[in-house]
Amino acid sequence: MPTEHDEVQQPELLYHQPFSDEELAYGETIRAFLRREVEPGYDEIGTDSAARHDLWKRAGAAGILGVSVPERFGGAGGGPLLSVILSYELARSLAYATLGSSFTTDLATGLLVAGGSDELIARWAPGIMSGEIIQSTGISEAEAGSDVVAIRTTAVRDGDEYVINGGKIFITNGDIADICYVVAKTDKEARGRGLSLFLMDLRSDGVTRRKLATMGFPGGNTAELHFDHVRVPAGNLLGAEGGAMRQLIATLAEDRIQVGARALGQAELAFDLTLDYARQRHAFGKAIVDFQNTQFQLASMKTEISVGRAFLYEQVRKARSGIATASESAMCKLFLSEASSRVIDGCLQLFGGMGFMDETPISRIYAANRVLRIYAGTSEILRRSIAKDL
């Protein structure tokens, strides 16, 4: 007969393969940091800028930030798959549904490493690794979400600087970030080929911010940014002028795989909490786990989680081999985000009235999970992308 330990999904199961020993060690480091530094008081961290910066500095000291910075700049030289582990571990933590995406914006370090000059990397990498510098990525606008070509923010060359005007919305960490990787049009007539990527210091003159209240992540830092004649050094252009689309496409598969891992982590956490609750909660003289309806629901959830994990493993293997396609990464993110939603909805139902209470973690997990079907490509956009390859 299975024991209680056998029934509860352990986070280590994510790492049967295809992860290396070094990647497993990175996951253990993140997990230990979250348990030691974040989970005991995540409700008290809130959205205070000083508290968030202190948290990032502690994350830097723990060695979980800027892991893709090359060794010659003092980094670990890790690959993009480490962002999958970071995203998964954060989602497996009770703190995620309150604090939001937080450290997962570290994926943006790859934009600096891939497109920045040696001078630019040398300037910003130490602060990124130490947690002194919080990153954000500015792509979405009010009239341009998944349709990147519709971006209206402009960047006009003026001597040794670019003058940027416009704004960005739904920016993770935008309320507290120090820098932002901003996509802007340098050629209004060239559509996608007219988009360029800049590293902007958000402490520059002309930058204003507005914090946005969200349905989930009560302690998160989502914001709207406005740029009024913000001057950015020409050396802060990442890659070639007009090359933003190529740079973004190169990281798109990685982003969607790491969001899929986050969806899986949330589903696993919700399942664990629900299975434990079903064993303890009694109704009509017996534990609710002993009702056939409960068992059937849990069986369906377990199956969806297992299928999703297998799908994620396959995409990680393909990404490592350099054969991951945009269509497959879209399918991975689509399936895992929607399967996660089904699992968590079923979990909340088994909690009954307690599931509707904010003091019960499943209620925040439920609210936080909803955005996974929206960012990094809505489910509708992903289906469109997949269909184009048929």
| pLDDT tens, position by position, 161-171 | 999 999 999 99
- Asked if the model's pLDDT at residue 17 lies above 80, the reply is no
The average pLDDT across 140-157 equals 87
Q: Is 59 left (phi over 0), alpha (psi -120 to 50) or beta?
A: alpha
Give pLDDT, residue 3: 42
Quickly state the pLDDT bin for 179 (edges 50, 70, 90). Answer: very high
**Chain-wide mean pLDDT for the chain?**
91
- Is 131:75 a contact under the CB 8 Å cutoff? no
239-268 per-position pLDDT tens digit: 999 999 988 887 888 889 999 999 999 999
Which residues on neighbouring strands pair with residue 198, listed in sequence order? 182, 237
**pLDDT higher than threshold 70 for residue 11:** no
d(CA 338, CA 349): 17
3 state SS for the chain: CCCHHHHCCCHHHHHCCCCCHHHHHHHHHHHHHHHHHHHHHHHHHCCCHHHHHHHHHHHHHHCCCCCCCCHHHCCCCCCCCHHHHHHHHHHCCCCHHHHCCHHHHHHHHHHHHHHCCHHHHHHHHHHHHHCCCCEEEECCECCECCCHHHCCCEEEEECCEEEEEEEEEEEECCCCCCEEEEEEECCCCCHHHHEEEEEEECCCCCEEEEECCCCCCCCCCEEEEEEEEEEEEHHHEECCCCCHHHHHHHHHHHHHHHHHHHHHHHHHHHHHHHHHHHHHCEECCEEHHHCHHHHHHHHHHHHHHHHHHHHHHHHHHHHHHCCCCHHHHHHHHHHHHHHHHHHHHHHHHHHHHHHHCCCCHHHHHHHHHHHHHCCCCCHHHHHHHHHHCC
Residue 113 in this model has a pLDDT that exceeds 80: yes
Among the listed residues 163, 112, 92, 54, the one whose alpha carbon sits nearest the alpha carbon of residue 305: 92
Average pLDDT over residues 116-141: 96
How confident is the model over 369-386, as pLDDT tens digits? 999 999 888 999 999 999
Per-residue confidence (pLDDT) for residue 134, from 0 to 100: 95
pLDDT band for position 13 (cuts 50, 70, 90): low
Q: Which two tokens stand for residue 94?
A: 């009770």
- List, in order of start, the domains of the chain with CATH numbers: 4-134 (1.10.540.10), 136-242 (2.40.110.10), 246-388 (1.20.140.10)
Quick one: pLDDT at residue 242?
A: 94
Confidence of residue 79 (pLDDT cuts 50, 70, 90): confident
Q: Are 312 and 257 in contact (CB under 8 A)?
A: yes
Q: Residue 14 — very low, low, confident or very high, per pLDDT cuts 50/70/90?
A: low
pLDDT in the model for residue 2: 40
At residue 7, the pLDDT reads 44
- What's the token pair of residue 18? 């295809």
pLDDT of residue 8: 44
Residue 65 vs residue 8, higher pLDDT: 65
What is each CA distance from 378 to 70, 96, 145, 245, in whole angstroms?
32, 21, 9, 18
